Chains A and B, each alone.
Chain A
Amino acid sequence: MPSKQDILDLHFMGARCQLIDLAAFLDRVERHPGDADFRFEALKKAIPLLLEERPDRARAVLDALSDHSTEPAPKATFQGAFGAPRA
């Protein structure tokens, strides 16, 4: 099994790049005119989960970006998905 050092050697640069990209995305949305929608709010709400001391941050982020209703929908009004539940 690789050590923490091994994992850092393998994945630190990738994670660094993704973190800076996320920061730049937040700046980009805020810099542009108009209103953001529920997706932006959902993403910002999930970001603090990254700093929680827990072993399942990826799961927590996915949970935060999921529809938690339980009843089947009466009908489909479109076929796609947005990546975050409508508030």
Chain B
Amino acid sequence: MDYIEPHAHMVSRTTADYEAMALAGCRAICEPAFWAGFDRSSPEGFRDYYRQLTDYEPKRAAKFGIPHFCWLCINPKEAEDAGFAREVMALIPEFLDAPTVLGIGEIGLNKNTRNELAIFEEHVQLALDRDLAILIHTPHLEDKLKGTRLTLDALANFSALDRNRVIIDHVEEHTVDLVLDAGYWAGMTLYPESKCTPNRAIDILETHEGGRLWLNSACDWGVSDPLAVVRCGLEMRKRKYPPEAIEKVLLENPKRFLGQCPNFKLG
């Protein structure tokens, strides 16, 4: 089944995962910058990470015929120290002209704090200054609803923002309407416990106009599945979705959003 994995943290995954994704029909992988499971001790640690995202991972993916793209930022979990975050942000422009960079992401909130919000807004301004698309993380579990509302309130202050070039990720049943009604794209993340299961994601597709929704695995160092998107496609098949409806969600929708990024090309 042909599909795009629009949100995967491949720096945390094995080369065997690349092979499995290629075998499953993956046509492109997009990797947002994220929290590595621990706080980095210096901004220079991020310089190495950005090199890994813009140079090393595309080469690793290319061995399996999969184009690899990335989004750059400092993630919200490490943005609570605003001084540190601004030092890291100062490094980002030197990587933005790399040929596989899609935009700024995954920015957003984690514990919904004032400092996280300030750094989030500075990232949005950076994206606007460079005319880049934006990928936004929403917080975990009990913090998601509040964080989504704060995120939308903050974005509303950027009058120049093209909402069609912003995707707000990790939506669930209680946040998807907030995001879609405000005119943004929404991502559904397929996780075994937190976020959406495949069947809940299909339920959301069934109860919403699906033109601005995509699916992702957000596979990383935690309990997650790099084949979650294609497994969801299989569940759609079990639920009698025709092949073209499955292809729309797994391939065409992400292609339409990502096609707005000049560097994106499908393999």
Contacts and interface: CB of A to CB of B under 8 A. Distances in A.
- Helix, strand, loop or mixed for chain A's interface? loop
Contacts of B80: 75-76
Given A67-B142, A75-B80, A58 B200 contact: yes
A85 to B, nearest CB: 5
Contacts, number: 82
A37 interface: no
A36 interface: no
Contact of B139 (A65, A81, A83): A81
Given A62-B145, A80-B140, A81-B142, A73 B174 contact: no
Contacts of B111: 73, 76-79
- Helix, strand, loop or mixed for chain B's interface? helix
Of all A-B residue pairs in the complex, the 10 with the closest CB atoms, nearest first, are A76-B111, A59-B173, A66-B145, A62-B174, A81-B141, A81-B140, A58-B173, A73-B113, A85-B142, A76-B80
Given A63-B145, A75-B114, 9 more contacts: A2-B240, A11-B199, A63-B174, A67-B142, A67-B145, A70-B149, A76-B111, A81-B139, A81-B141
19 contacts: A7-B239, A65-B141, A65-B142, A66-B145, A67-B112, A67-B142, A69-B146, A70-B146, A72-B114, A72-B116, A72-B150, A73-B113, A74-B113, A76-B80, A78-B111, A79-B35, A81-B140, A81-B143, A84-B141
